[in-house]
Structure 1
C-alpha cells in the first residue's frame, strides 16, 4: 500500500522486473509468496511461455480477505510492488509465466486448439497450511492462444468472477478462488468502451478436460500419459498404486464431476458455458462467464444470452456433465488399454458410474434441504411435486427452500413462511399434507429440523442484480458494494439481520439483465 517502507529487492530478467520480497516484509518467513511452477517442468509441449502485458497505472480495487488470509496476506501487505505483481507488471521471483494449451468441445463442436487466451499462470504459492495453489492472472494480456482477442478482461466480467467464485466457496461448492482485483483506466472495447482489470485467481490446478483432448486429436499419446501422471503424482497420489491408475484417474473425474453437478443443481446455480475446456479435472467450478443463480424456479433457465438453443440450460447441466465426461473418456482411451475394444469397455463402465453417483448426491442433498434424515421411496415424488408447484407458481428457488425451514408439522404448513412464495397457496398446502406425514415418520422436532435445514439452504446467493449493482457502482469508482457482497456471501447460511434486504425478491428490472459470453 502507499506509504509502505518495507524493503523490496528488484532485478531484471528478460527485460521484465522481478520482485523478491524480503523476509522482513511482513515479519513472516521467507517462504511467503515464494513461487514455483511444477507445471512448467512438463515441457513446452503443454504451454507457451509468455510474460504478462503491463497494465498501465494499476490500482487495487478489492482484496478478498479469505483467500488472502489463506496465503498469509492482508491488505497492509499490498504495497505497490505486490500490486504490480498481481497486475502482471512485474514477475515475482521463482515464477515461470505461461499460458496453458488445451482444446475443447464448445457448444458441442470440437475446436482443435484453444488455450489460455487472456490468462497467464505465474506459478504456485504455498498457503499457511503448506498446500500449493496455482496463481493465475486473468486479463493479463495477449498470449499465443488469444486468436483475435486482446487478452484483456474488463472490470465488469472480473467483478462477476471475483464475486461468483467466492459465493460458491461460501456455499461449500468446489471452485477456483479469487484473491484480488487490480484495475486500470486502460480502455478495452467489448460491446462498448470499458476499463481493464486483472483477476488474480487461485486453484490447486487449472487442468481441464480439454488439456487431454488437444493431444488425443493430434494423435500425440505420450503427452496424455505425462498429463495423467502429473495429476496422479501431485493431486491424486492415492491412485498411483491402482492396477490401472489412468483409468482410476478417469473414474475419479467421473465421481468429482457428478458431485459438482449435483451441488450446482441443489443451490440453483447455472454455469452458462459448460464447454469441455471449462471442465476441471479436479472437479472445481471453473471459468465464470455468464453464470446465474435461479430466481423464480424455471428448470429451463438459460443464463447465457449467447446460448440460443439452450444447450446449457439449468435442467440440462447434469446430462451435459456426462456428455463432457464422454469427451474426456475418448481423449484418455489410449491410456486405459492397448486393445481399443477393451479401452472402450473400460471407459463405458466408468461412465456408467456417473448417473448413480449424481443421483445419490443429489437425492441426499434434497433430503437435507427438506430436513429429512432417512431415505424413503416416496422422497422422489415429494421433491418433484414441490419443484413442479414452484415452477407453476414462479416461486423463488432460494427463498422458498429457506422459508421451508419454518414448516410446522402440527398445522401442515399453513403458518409456514414458504406459503407466501406461492400465488396458489392451496397447491402448497396440498403438498404440505404429504410433507407433514413424511416428517412425522422422522421423529425430529420442528426447531431441530429448522436448524439443520438452515445449514444447507442458503439465505443469500449472488443474484444477477446484486452483481450488477456492484458493477455499476464500480464504474463510478465506488468499490464498497464489491466488498460488502464479498463479506455477505462468505456467510450465506447466516441470518445477518443487517443485510435482510439482500435476501429480498429481485426487482422487476432484474429480468432485463442480459449476460453473454463476453460477460
Structure 2
C-alpha cells in the first residue's frame, strides 16, 4: 500500500489482481537507477484526485520501479497481424495498484519496469523515445475526447537499453479503469481453461458491465456492448485521421479505449491506404482498413466467448453473431454523425453521406493535408465564392473543388446555415493541432539532449487541440524532412 499526498494506492477486493495465479504473476519491478522526472500531466493527475504536491521523492521512486513492493503482470494471448500468436502477456508492463476518486477506480501500470514471465525474448524496458510518444499521444487523445488510456508521467533513467541503437530507459505511468484486452478472453478459451474463462467473465460483469448480467444471454450482451464501444472508437479514430498501427487482438481494449501506443500516426496528406507502421509490410492496418480490422477482432472475441453461452454448443454462436451485427449497424451511423459534425451540418439529409464521401475523395485525389483541409473548411463562405480562395488553393484540381463547393453551398442553404455559427461549431470538432510525427520527433530530439521543455510545451498545445496555437508551425504543413520519419513496432 503506497500513499501519495492525501491518496492511497491500493488493491481493490474486486480488482483483477484478486483473480489468482492463473491470471497473473506477482513480482516486483526491476529498479531503474538514478531516476528523474521527465514529464507529467496535470490533467491526468487531477482526474486521479492528486494534489499539486504529488510529485514527491517517494512518488518518483515508486513510479520508477524502486518502491520495493510487488506489482503484477497479467497473461493473455491473441492474434497478431491476423495470425494466432499463442501466449502473450504484460511483457514490459507492471500493475502497481489502484486509486479511487469520485467513485471511479483507476489502475496504475508502469510500462518499462523490467522483465516479467511474459517478456519472451524482450528486456521488459521502454526507451525515452517511445515513452515520449505514448505519453503525448495518450493525453492528446484525451483532449480530443477520444476514449483512451491516460499517462500520468514519464520518469527517466541513465540505464542503457539496446533497440536499433543504444538508448536510455524510461517508464510511463499509464492509467485506465482497466487494461483488459480481447486477448484475455482468447487466452483461456484457446487453452480450454473454461473455469478460468468463466471466472474472468464474472469479473468483467461485476466490475465493468453489471447491466449485462440480467440479459437473456449475458455473454452476447457483453459482446454487443463491446461492439458498440469499438464502433464508436473506430469512428473517432477515422474522424481525426488517427492510425493505431498495430491493431492486434491483444491491443484491443475490452472497454473501448485506445490502448498501446506504438507505431501510431496522424494523417498528413490524406491517403486512405496509408500505412503508418513500417513493420506492417502487408498493409493490414492501413487507415482505411481499421474499421474492418476491428470487426475481425470482434469476431475473434466472439469465438472466445462461445463456451460462456448456455445450451447446445452448435447453437452457441447464434446469439454472439447477432450481437456482432450491432457493430455493422453502429459504425456507419457513428461515422456519418462525425462527418456531419465536421462539415458543420445540423440537419440529417439523405445526400449527406455522398457529400462527405466526395469530400474525402477530393482530399485523397490530391493528397491534401487532412487536418488543415478540415480546419480551413470552417471558413467556407456560402455567399461569396471568391472568399474561398484560401480553401480552394489547398487543392491541385481547383475545378473539382469548385464542383464540390457548389454542392456544399446548396446543402448549407438547405438548412439556412449561418456561416459564423457553423464555423464555430466546426472548429470545436476539427482540431487545429494533432500529434504529427514531426512534432513528436522535435520533443524527442530535445529530450535526448537533456531538454524536456519541448515535451511540456507541446503537451500544453495538445491539451487545447481546437485552439489556434501560439506557434503557427504547430498547425502548419509538416516540413520536408518529416517524410523521412518511420515508426515501427519497436517505436
Give the TM-score category using the shorter length. Answer: over 0.9
Structure 1 portions without partners, runs of 5+? 1-17
Partner of residue 394 from structure 1, selected from 337, 343, 367: 367
Q: Secondary structure at the match of 2:31?
A: coil
What do the CA deviations read for 1:296-332 (whole angstroms, capped 9, x no partner)?
Answer: 0000010000000100000000000000000000000
CA contact (8 A) 1:180 1:200 kept: yes
Q: Is the 8 A contact 1:253 1:283 kept in 2?
A: yes
Shift in CA distance, 449/52, structure 1 to aligned 2, threshold 3 Å:
same
Partner of 1:3: none
SS at match of 1:316: helix
CA contact (8 A) 2:40 2:152 kept: yes
Task: Name the counterpart of 1:78.
Answer: 55
Mapped to 2, the partners of 1:465 and 1:121 lie a distance apart of: 31
Question: What is the CA–CA distance in structure 1 between the aligned matches of 2:255 and 2:386, rounded to whole Å?
Answer: 41
Q: After superposition, what is the alpha-carbon deviation per residue over 1:369-420, rounded to whole angstroms, capped at 9, x for unaligned?
A: 0011112221121111111111111110001001100111113475253223
Q: 1:19, CA displacement in angstroms? A: 4.9
1:264-309 Cα offsets, whole Å, 9 max, x none, are 0011000000000000000000000000000000000100000001
Q: Tell me, which stretches of 5 or more residues in structure 2 are unaligned?
A: none
**In structure 2, what is the Cα distance between the partners aligned to 1:389 and 1:460?**
22
Q: Secondary structure at the match of 1:301?
A: coil
SS at match of 1:54: coil
SS at match of 2:53: helix
Q: Does 1:112 align with 2:89?
A: no
Per the normalisation by structure 2, the TM-score is 0.97
**Greater alpha carbon shift after TM alignment, 500-509 vs 415-424:** 415-424
C-alpha contact 1:401 1:418 (8 A) present in aligned 2:
no
Distance 1:20 1:34 in 2: 6
CA distance in 2, matches of 1:86, 1:451: 41
* Separation of aligned partners in 2, 1:338 and 1:280: 28
Distance (Å, rounded) in 1 between the aligned partners of 2:310 and 2:297? 21
Aligned partners of 2:48 and 2:106 also within 8 Å:
no
**Contact kept in structure 1, 2:223 and 2:324, CA below 8 Å:** no
Q: CA RMSD in A?
A: 1.4
Structure 2 SS opposite 1:188:
strand
Residue matched to 1:145: 118
* Number of residue equivalences: 489
- Tell whether the 8 Å contact from 2:298 to 2:324 is kept in structure 1 after alignment: yes
Cα distance in 2 for residues equivalent to 1:413 and 1:122: 60
- After TM superposition, the structure 1 stretch with the greater mean CA deviation from structure 2, 322-331 or 483-492, is 483-492
Alignment match of 2:23 (pick from 46, 56, 70):
46
Q: 1:307 to 1:413 in 2, by over 3 A?
A: farther
* 1:322 and 2:322 matched: no
TM-score, length-scaled by structure 1: 0.92
Distance (whole Å) between structure 1 residues aligned to residue 51 and residue 467 of structure 2:
24
Separation in structure 2 between the aligned mates of residue 97 and residue 207 of structure 1, nearest angstrom: 16
Report deviation, 1:175: 0.2
In the alignment, the residues of structure 2 paired with residue 85 and residue 123 of structure 1 have an alpha-carbon distance, to the nearest angstrom, of 11
Q: CA deviation at 1:36?
A: 1.4
Q: How big is the shift at 1:132?
A: 0.5
